[in-house]
């Protein structure tokens, strides 16, 4: 499939390195990471933090801070925040590096205005300077464009490296492929090319258990928000549900693959079910392999309690990224070849937004702006908004406008009117 022409709608930032991972740091701050690796190409490695807000017409991003990681590219990361602490864990080769993040409110006499820092198209471009080359930048003051009274208040994040642990022990090229943190912040899970899933006490970074069941490298992991279940997928085609407490397998996801073809799971995400606090749904991306590459890919919805496939949506190209909003209402997916992004209603699996060619290369990460019980979440006129990143160095936000619906009382009147007309017609015809 030929790449779709780039759709620039939603572009909010450009970074000078390829992007591989995106996470929400707070209700309004996003963290993106990536880099050029160890090759001497001049491409940096590290992550950046942006503040996102809505100016009444569009989403805008303002750069907060940049942290460079030397020769280690950031291929994956996870964040956790509560009332006391904010943490970032980043996969750097075979290592998992812990960072503590502290926010500070400071006074800056040289604060920029909104018109200075954000261009008319809503894109915040990085300013290159000598200080940018060093990690001293992480302690610099950043400008708070949202201050209504322009009182020179600004927010800065101070990033402090903590413990670093080896999480993958492959004999030739050990690489951590994925890291996730449980919803209560007590457990971290990692997976890599040595086929093992390891559980760690968090933030102590002490290994607890090793989950051995996959025969090929791990592709993705996710924790269930309401139970002691974690799901893992790998290039062996298996999707395994584990019990965190016992370290034992609970079940495997199995489905009737079309025409006897072979599929591999690409991404997995749990999400709550609206109105049912005691239940969750499991969303999966699965792509065909080998001779089956002409087959369709699928966005799937599973009931994890009995490992049953509930619904599946067929897609015409390979899928690469997945996200579920924190209230469980929407699901987003990104594609491999066309760089497109779509949003679906989680309950019905109906597509409500499609952005063809959102990126000029494959989508590497998606993350919804949160809405559930977060007083610091971004306020906008959109029903949903999802952040997307790609190796094209670009950060975008795609928003779903509020959909117009008929009020219930009007729908009832229409139904009554149709019934009356039907009755009159039947009487006239003598039926």
Q: Which long-range contacts (CB under 8 A, 24 or more apart) does 244-252 make?
A: 244/182, 244/187, 244/199, 247/199, 247/209, 247/210, 247/211, 249/213, 251/306, 251/307, 252/307
Residue in the structure block whose two tokens are 């807000």: 53
Residue 25 pLDDT greater than 70, yes or no:
yes
pLDDT at 406: 58
Q: What is the mean pLDDT of residues 112-121?
A: 38
Confidence tier at 418 by pLDDT (50, 70, 90): confident
Query: Distance between CA 277 and CA 222 in Å, rounded?
Result: 18
Determine the 3-state secondary structure of 425 from DSSP: helix
Confidence tier at 83 by pLDDT (50, 70, 90): confident
Q: What is the mean pLDDT of residues 146-163?
A: 70
Task: Tell me the residue length of the chain.
Answer: 431
Each residue's pLDDT tens digit, 384-399: 999 999 999 999 999 9
Buried b (16+ CB within 10 A) or exposed e, 64-81: bbbbbbeebbbbbbbbbb
pLDDT at 37: 80
Please report, rounded to a whole number, the percentage of residues in the chain having pLDDT higher than 70.
82
Sign of CA pseudo-dihedral 4, 10, 14, 18: negative
Query: Distance between CA 129 and CA 113 in Å, rounded?
Result: 20
**CB-based contact 68:47 (threshold 8 Å):** no
**CB-based contact 103:85 (threshold 8 Å):** no
Q: What is the mean pLDDT of residues 257-272?
A: 90
pLDDT at 113: 37
Beta bridge mates, 187: 201
Residue 126 pLDDT greater than 70, yes or no:
no
Determine the 3-state secondary structure of 409 from DSSP: helix
Residue 1 pLDDT greater than 50, yes or no:
no
Query: Distance between CA 395 and CA 15 in Å, rounded?
Result: 8
Q: What is the mean pLDDT of residues 60-68?
A: 93
Each residue's pLDDT tens digit, 347-357: 999 999 999 99
Determine the 3-state secondary structure of 49 from DSSP: strand
Q: What is the mean pLDDT of residues 7-23?
A: 89
Instruction: Give the closest residue to 238 by CA, choosing from 258, 259, 211.
Output: 211
Query: Distance between CA 259 and CA 149 in Å, rounded?
Result: 64
Determine the 3-state secondary structure of 118 from DSSP: coil
Q: What is the mean pLDDT of residues 259-279?
A: 87
pLDDT at 73: 94
Least confident among 153-157, 205-209, 286-290: 153-157
Highest mean pLDDT range out of 110-119, 124-133, 211-220, 416-425?
Answer: 211-220
Mean predicted lDDT score pLDDT of the chain = 85
Of residues 380 and 65, more confidently modeled: 65
How is residue 123 written in tokens?
């894109």
Instruction: Give the closest residue to 322 by CA, choosing from 312, 311, 309, 335.
Output: 335
Region class of 406: left (phi > 0), else alpha (psi between -120 and 50), else beta: beta
**CB-based contact 318:336 (threshold 8 Å):** yes
**CB-based contact 19:390 (threshold 8 Å):** yes
Residue 359 pLDDT greater than 90, yes or no:
yes
Query: Distance between CA 351 and CA 388 in Å, rounded?
Result: 17
Of residues 156 and 343, more confidently modeled: 343
Q: What is the mean pLDDT of residues 62-88?
A: 93
pLDDT at 308: 96
**CB-based contact 59:10 (threshold 8 Å):** yes
Domains contained in the chain, CATH given: 11-428 (2.130.10.10)
Query: Distance between CA 333 and CA 330 in Å, rounded?
Result: 10
Q: What is the mean pLDDT of residues 66-70?
A: 93
Query: Distance between CA 363 and CA 346 in Å, rounded?
Result: 20
Residue in the structure block whose two tokens are 């990085």: 126
Rg, the chain, Cα only: 23
Residues sharing a CB contact under 8 Å with residue 77, sequence separation 6 or more, in sequence order: 21, 23, 31, 33, 47, 88, 89, 90, 91, 179
Residues sharing a CB contact under 8 Å with residue 419, sequence separation 6 or more, in sequence order: none
């Amino acid at each position: 499939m030929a790449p779709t022409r780039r759709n620039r709608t939603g572009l909010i930032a450009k970074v000078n390195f390829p992007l591989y991972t995106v996470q929400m740091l707070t209700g309004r701050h996003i963290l993106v990471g990536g880099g050029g690796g160890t090759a001497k190409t001049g491409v940096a490695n590290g992550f950046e933090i942006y503040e996102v807000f809505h100016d009444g017409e569009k989403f805008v991003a303002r750069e907060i801070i940049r942290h460079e990681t030397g020769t280690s590219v950031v291929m994956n990361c996870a964040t956790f925040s509560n009332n006391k602490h904010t943490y970032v864990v980043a996969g750097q080769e075979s290592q998992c590096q812990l960072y503590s993040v502290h926010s500070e409110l400071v006074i800056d006499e040289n604060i920029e205005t909104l018109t200075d820092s954000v261009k008319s198209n809503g894109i915040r471009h990085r300013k290159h300077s000598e200080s940018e080359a060093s990690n001293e930048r992480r302690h610099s003051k950043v400008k708070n464009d949202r201050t209504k009274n322009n009182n020179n208040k600004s927010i800065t994040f101070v990033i402090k490296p903590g413990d670093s642990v080896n999480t993958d022990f492959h004999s030739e090229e050990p690489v951590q492929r994925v890291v996730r943190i449980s919803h209560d912040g007590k457990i971290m899970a990692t997976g890599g090319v040595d086929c093992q899933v390891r559980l760690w006490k968090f933030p102590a970074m002490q290994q607890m258990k090793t989950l051995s069941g996959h025969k090929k490298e791990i592709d993705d992991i996710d924790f269930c928000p309401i139970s002691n279940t974690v799901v893992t997928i790998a290039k062996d085609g298996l999707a395994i549900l584990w019990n965190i407490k016992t370290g034992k397998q609970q079940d495997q996801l199995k489905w009737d693959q079309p025409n006897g073809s072979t599929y591999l799971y690409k991404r997995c995400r749990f999400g709550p079910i609206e109105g049912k606090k005691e239940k969750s749904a499991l969303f999966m991306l699965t792509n065909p392999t080998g001779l089956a590459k002409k087959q369709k890919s699928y966005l799937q919805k599973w009931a994890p309690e009995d490992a049953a496939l509930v619904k599946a949506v067929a897609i015409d190209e390979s899928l690469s990224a997945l996200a579920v909003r924190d209230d469980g209402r929407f699901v987003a997916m990104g594609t491999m070849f066309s760089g497109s992004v779509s949003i679906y209603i989680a309950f019905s699996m109906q597509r409500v937004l499609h952005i063809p060619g959102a990126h000029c290369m494959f989508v590497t990460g998606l993350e919804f702006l949160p809405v559930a019980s977060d007083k610091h979440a971004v306020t906008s006129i959109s029903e949903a908004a999802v952040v997307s990143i790609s190796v094209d160095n670009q950060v975008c936000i795609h928003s779903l406008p509020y959909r117009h619906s008929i009020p219930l009382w009007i729908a009832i009147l229409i139904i009554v009117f149709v019934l009356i007309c039907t009755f009159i017609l039947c009487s006239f015809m003598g039926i």
